[in-house]
Amino acid sequence: KEPSGPTVKTAIPGPRSLQLLKELDAIQNTGAVQFFVDYERSRGNYIADVDGNILLDLYTQIASVPLGYNHPSFENAMKKPENLSAFINRPALGVYPPSDWVHRLKSSLLSVAPPGMTQVQTMACGACSVEHALKTMFMTYQRRVSGGSPPTEEEKETATINQPPGCPPLTILSFKNAFHGRTMGALACTHTKYLQKLYFPQPDWPIATFPRLKYPLEAHEAENKAEERSCLEEIRELIEKFDKRGTPVAGIIVEPIQGEGGDNFASAEFFQSLQDITEETGTGLLMDEVQTGCGVTGKFWAHEHWGLRRPPDLVTFSKKMMTGGFFMTEAFRPQELSILLGFRVFNTWMGDPAKVVLLEELVSVIKEQNLLNNVQTTGEYLISTIKTLQSHFPDLILNARGLGTYCAFDLPTAEARDKLLMALREKGVNIGAGGSCTLRFRPTLIFQKHHVDIFATICESSLKNM
Ligand SMILES: Cc1ncc(COP(=O)(O)O)c(CNc2csc(C(=O)O)c2)c1O
């Protein structure tokens, strides 16, 4: 059972956390560690640290905990005899899938597939999924260009030493302030903080501007439309420029709502026009739903809010989905000649059945408890609560925005944002920072209105002291 509210007994991190931090620091870099957690004592929306503090968790392991801590359905999944093998016999899924794999994929991932997407490939994490989705876009683009003919001897020889034509100078268009992961290909599409990229070599791929909308939206409609139009124009120009110089754009990667970059939104029309551009230019469209997926916006997939005229070509997922992976349309399914068919999108494990066991449970809980509806109602209450806070503290709370419980607001400076974040934590609320001066909500799917009230009370008292 969840606690009725937060309890704070010590500074956070407390003495036990600091002791453990010292011990861990002897083994690895601990620069990002916030505090140590007692996962056995954490319950639902509340995270327990090792010093007896219980915090209302609005960040939930970087937006990756769907049903809160120690949900009974996950515990039950562990006790089912038919699930034991998935936890102790880890298969190389690409070559030796287990007998129940088709059934598990159908009852988990395919039962929540984005409309119109019938193909799914599991992977390890978000970046791993993005890496292989990028490769799938390159393969599809090349197949269209070459008409599916087999590779020439020159392509085979040059491919193994990173040279064209075997390794063609194809590119991916991404957006400023985007985050897609920290492995080298995903990192090439990531443009949030310099620290994430410093001293890593990166390819010269096109980087477009993501719309910077002014809030409240209803008071800036014309300006925001103009901003989106100029962004779309820039995208067209970049594709043309890179095509002309012999480094064609094979695909576009975009988040339905930019997360790490500071919860940046764009309109449904923007995304519809973006998809039109990919159709006109023959480039792939990869919707990265690693952070926005699994119901947090009130629809299972955030891009479902954008009313696209056809499915995206690929959709990546991870975090709350328990497993990484990506959906794709039939057209983007690797169709190389049999010699190439396997081992192109490949690695040892290709995902983890133990995580898909948990995802099966998650999907049934979401359906049985109608959690998408919970996210919609709690989200509406959350955004109106943030707007009320904004009206009480107009100099401190800015740009209230959100979809479902995927909500955020800004403070005037990064310092003010950090100060409020620490003040909230000291009073028992764990929230996430994003962008340069954003605080973002990434609660569980079982987040309720009374949790919003607890946040609002603590936030109100923290703001009074700022
Ligand atoms: C839209 C989107 N796409 C891909 C990723 C990468 O997922 P992981 O590789 O971290 O599982 C993420 C991961 N999110 C994330 C938040 S903070 C963070 C970090 O590495 O600092 C990573 C994402 O938000």
Q: Is 43 in the pocket of ligand 1 (CB under 6 A)?
A: no
pLDDT digits (tens, 9 = 90+) for 385-397: 999 999 999 999 9
To test ligand 1's pocket by mutation, which of 318, 438, 440, 442 has the most ligand atoms within 8 angstroms of CB? Answer: 318
> Residue 276 pLDDT more than 70?
yes
> Residue 185 pLDDT more than 60?
yes
Q: Is 179 in the pocket of ligand 1 (CB under 6 A)?
A: yes
> In the sheet where 432-434 sits, what is the strand order?
398-403, 406-410, 438-440, 432-434
Q: How far is the CA of 308 from the centre of ligand 1 (A)?
A: 24
Q: Is 132 in the pocket of ligand 1 (CB under 6 A)?
A: no
- Ligand 1 atom closest to 186 (CA): 4
To test ligand 1's pocket by mutation, which of 258, 260, 289, 438 has the most ligand atoms within 8 angstroms of CB? Answer: 260
For 62: left if phi > 0, alpha if psi spans -120 to 50, otherwise beta; the answer is left
Q: Is 319 a catalytic residue?
A: yes
pLDDT digits (tens, 9 = 90+) for 199-216: 999 999 999 999 999 999
**Confidence at residue 339, expressed as pLDDT on a 0 to 100 scale:** 54
CA pair distance 426, 424, nearest whole angstrom: 5
The burial of 307, by beta-carbon neighbours within 10 Å (0-12 exposed, 13-18 middle, 19 or more buried), is given as exposed
**Confidence at residue 67, expressed as pLDDT on a 0 to 100 scale:** 98
Report the residue count for the chain.
Answer: 466
Tokens of 92: 């190389």
pLDDT digits (tens, 9 = 90+) for 380-437: 999 999 999 999 999 999 999 999 999 999 999 999 999 999 999 999 999 999 999 9
CA pair distance 382, 376, nearest whole angstrom: 10
Q: Is 348 a catalytic residue?
A: yes
CA pair distance 106, 124, nearest whole angstrom: 19
Interface pTM, i.e. ipTM: 0.99
Q: Is 313 in the pocket of ligand 1 (CB under 6 A)?
A: no
Q: Is 126 in the pocket of ligand 1 (CB under 6 A)?
A: yes
Q: Which residue has the tokens 């999944």?
A: 77
Q: How far is the CA of 318 from the centre of ligand 1 (A)?
A: 9
Q: Which one of 49, 51, 288, 410 is the catalytic residue?
A: 288
